[in-house]
Chains A and B, each alone.
Chain A
Amino acid sequence: MNPKPFFQLDRVIHEKGRLPIMSLLAATPELSFTELREALKMTDGNLSMHIKTLQEAGFVSVTKTFHNQRPLTTCSLTPNGRRAFAGYIDLLEQIVRQARDAE
């Protein structure tokens, strides 16, 4: 089996905590911090840490606004993040295909 696709996987996305965040954000234009936290059952600190990593990689953009005098944090995938996520899925599919062909 060709191990190349495995080594090409983006390590920022290929992490247990960050892959679900990217998956949820890929399905919708934007999600609030609360919605992400509730959907993934993560703690505030853990989610903030992963979002920060994704933000630093340029995959996620975070917008902070106020609604009814309460802070509202929304996250969305950047075009770069969408491309990286699509590439990640392509590589996973390649790996699955290769393994099935080898069987």
Chain B
Amino acid sequence: METDWAAKNLQVIRTLMERGAVYRRALAPVMGAIGLTGVVAAGVAGMLDLRAPRSLAAFWMGVASLCLAEAFWLIRCQALKDSELFWSPPTRRVVQAASPAFFAGFAAGLIFLVIGPGGPLAIWLLVPGWMALYGCALHAAGFFMPRGFKLFGWAFIGVGCLLGAALCLIGPPPVIGVNWAMGALFGAPHLAYGVYLYFTEKDRNAT
């Protein structure tokens, strides 16, 4: 009988310690940088008049890689500043949770690059596909992050599904619009969320 409560207490401690070790890096600079990169990239793609489907896919996959590199660098700087491990258990859990959906998005882009374009609808459908998968990645990571992140993920999933349905029902607009869609649907929300977090990230802990 005595072992029951002792084992239960140990389980409670384990669960709480896992829950307590939430991912605590400041996300405002990360979101802001990703958002700014997305918006600037949309402008650059528009100026370059990027409309060949393969070039578009390659360009936006490159932008995504750049955003990942920025996030990595900013988080590493924060960890160094706080004298904490970069590859901490919460960081590991966040990366593990988000990886499958990120991998699926990368694979979808790669398949598109290899197999080649199948008309404007195909490249257009990559946008809602990426959005939904990215939303899934954010939602999964949100289990180990402060509140709000899961909701942000749901927003991407919802908008991705709506966009996908609209494209299938109405038909795709001109291919050049993919750049503006990426800027408006990926860049701008990140920028807005970054600004929101900048003003609220510390405040929500105040009491």
Residues of A within 8 A of B (CB): 1, 6, 14, 19-20, 23-29, 31-35, 37, 39, 67-68, 70-74, 89, 92-93, 95-96, 98-100
A24–B12 CA distance with the chains assembled, in angstroms: 10
Is B10 a contact partner of A34 (Cβ separation < 8 A)? no
Residues of chain B lying within 8 A (CB to CB) of residue A23: 12-13, 16-17, 20
Residues of chain B lying within 8 A (CB to CB) of residue A29: 84
A37–B207 CA distance with the chains assembled, in angstroms: 10
Q: How many A-B residue pairs have CB under 8 A?
A: 83
Given that A70-B203, A72-B205 are contacting pairs, would A24 and B16 also be in contact in the complex, using a CB cutoff of 8 Å? Answer: yes
Q: Which of A14, A19, A27, A73 has the most CB of B within 10 A?
A: A27
A20–B20 CA distance with the chains assembled, in angstroms: 10
Interface membership of B6, Cβ < 8 A: yes
Is A68 a contact partner of B206 (Cβ separation < 8 A)? yes
Interface membership of B55, Cβ < 8 A: no
A62–B2 CA distance with the chains assembled, in angstroms: 34
Is A28 a contact partner of B20 (Cβ separation < 8 A)? yes
Is B3 a contact partner of A31 (Cβ separation < 8 A)? no
Is A33 a contact partner of B3 (Cβ separation < 8 A)? no
Is A96 a contact partner of B6 (Cβ separation < 8 A)? yes
Q: For the complex, would chain A's binding face be called helix, strand, loop or mixed by DSSP majority? A: helix
Is A35 a contact partner of B205 (Cβ separation < 8 A)? yes
A70–B17 CA distance with the chains assembled, in angstroms: 28
Is A34 a contact partner of B16 (Cβ separation < 8 A)? no
Query: How many residues of chain B have a CB within 8 Å of chain A?
Result: 23
Is A20 a contact partner of B3 (Cβ separation < 8 A)? no
Given that A19-B13, A96-B3, A99-B2 are contacting pairs, would A27 and B207 also be in contact in the complex, using a CB cutoff of 8 Å? Answer: no
Interface membership of B47, Cβ < 8 A: no
Q: Which of A19, A28, A73 contacts B9 (CB 8 A)?
A: A19
Is A20 a contact partner of B10 (Cβ separation < 8 A)? no
Residues of chain A lying within 8 A (CB to CB) of residue B20: 23-28, 31, 39
In the complex, what's the smallest C-beta–C-beta distance from B201 to chain A, in angstroms?
Answer: 10
Residues of chain B lying within 8 A (CB to CB) of residue A1: 2
Residues of chain A lying within 8 A (CB to CB) of residue B17: 23-24, 26-27
A54–B24 CA distance with the chains assembled, in angstroms: 24
Closest chain B residue to A73, Cβ basis: B207
Q: Which of A6, A29, A35 has the most CB of B within 10 A?
A: A35
A19–B18 CA distance with the chains assembled, in angstroms: 14
Is B207 a contact partner of A72 (Cβ separation < 8 A)? yes
Closest chain A residue to B6, Cβ basis: A95
A28–B25 CA distance with the chains assembled, in angstroms: 12
In the complex, what's the smallest C-beta–C-beta distance from A82 to chain B, in angstroms?
Answer: 12
In the complex, what's the smallest C-beta–C-beta distance from A20 to chain B, in angstroms?
Answer: 5
A93–B6 CA distance with the chains assembled, in angstroms: 8
Interface membership of B202, Cβ < 8 A: yes
Interface membership of B81, Cβ < 8 A: no
